[in-house]
Amino acid sequence: MTAAVVVRGAVKSYGAHRVLDEVDFIARAGEVTAIVGPSGSGKSTLLRAINYLEPLDSGYVTVQGELIGVRLHRGRLHQLSERAILRQRSRIGFVFQNFNLFPHLSVLENVIEAPITKGVPKPQAVARAQELLVKVGLKDKAGAYPRQLSGGQQQRVAIARALALEPDLVLFDEPTSALDPELVGEVLTVLRDLAAAGTTMVVVTHEIGFARDVADHVVFLDAGRIVEQGPPRQVLLAPEHARTREFLGKLV
Ligand SMILES: Nc1ncnc2c1ncn2[C@@H]1O[C@H](COP(=O)(O)OP(=O)(O)O)[C@@H](O)[C@H]1O
Ligand SMILES: [Mg+2]
């Protein structure tokens, strides 16, 4: 399996607070990588660094072998143009905790927005969006507006939107944390389907059952450092570190 994402020596501070502290991280193509850890441990910052929403102080990220947000010139990293960064970002789907749909656009319009902006002909973008809405179980909601949908439905639209440009990978930042408990399952079902179809996914989640069943690789982050990582049966069922055990113990 090849690496879809490589993060090397990632350091990020806010003022004196080091939020990512020399993080080395790999997510493999076709796999589900779950990032778990306590609130404030740097999970969102790590995810946002992968698509350059959060530039690093030092270290670098590659996706499919290509440096993200920067280029190497004479031994130094130089920031890419905004246009080049947007082009790279369009290959990386991102699903946020709070869906972040465009409220004034219908479901279909939300899903075709990025492809249309990118120059995909409208009939093609619409056909693809309709396929994606079938995939997330919302084919009857194409004309609805976000406010008319439940949180679980909105998040499924957000997932369809994240897939619209056929990205190399999809990043999920606590995709079920904002949902009422009875709506979590329908979103996890979509994530399971994507995983089964071989989508490369990096998922920040507190759903340990989901991570145990679906993730190929689990990373436990604490205070900006990776404490341990490995297959779920190791990290989640037989953790080596006391800190991991303590964290998992608090979740059950
Ligand atoms: N823009 C910011 N400015 C200052 N501090 C921030 C900012 N974003 C995050 N932080 C701090 O960085 C730490 C890690 O945040 P985050 O990556 O969101 O953690 P997690 O997603 O694991 O809860 C937290 O202490 C948070 O308060
Ligand atoms: Mg977070």
Look at residue 2 in the predicted model and tell me its pLDDT.
Answer: 80
Q: Is the CB of 45 under 6 A from ligand 1?
A: yes
Residue pair 57/239 in contact (Cβ under 8 Å)? The answer is no
Pairing of strands 225-230, 217-222: antiparallel
Q: Which ligand is nearest to the CA of 48?
A: 1
Residue 205 in contact with ligand 1 by CB distance below 6 A: no
Q: Is 13 helix (H, G, I), strand (E, B) or coil?
A: strand
Q: Which residue's CA lies nearest to atom 18 of ligand 1?
A: 44
Q: Is 19 in the pocket of ligand 1 (CB under 6 A)?
A: yes
Please report how the helices 151-163 and 107-117 are oriented relative to each other, as an axis angle in degrees rounded to 10: 20
For residue 15 and ligand 1, the question of a CB distance below 6 A is answered with no
Q: Which residue lies with its CA nearest to atom 25 of ligand 1? A: 40
14 lines ligand 1 (CB under 6 A): yes
pLDDT at position 251: 81
Q: Which ligand is nearest to the CA of 54?
A: 1
Tokens of 236: 């989640």
pLDDT, residue 252, reads 65
Supply the pLDDT for residue 250. 87
Q: Are 219 and 33 a contacting pair, CB within 8 Å? A: yes
CA distance linking residue 140 with residue 157, whole number of Å = 12
pLDDT along the chain (252 residues), means of 10: 91 97 96 97 98 96 96 94 96 97 98 96 98 97 98 98 96 97 96 96 96 96 97 96 94 73
Res 73: pLDDT = 94
Q: Tokens representing 167? A: 């990205």
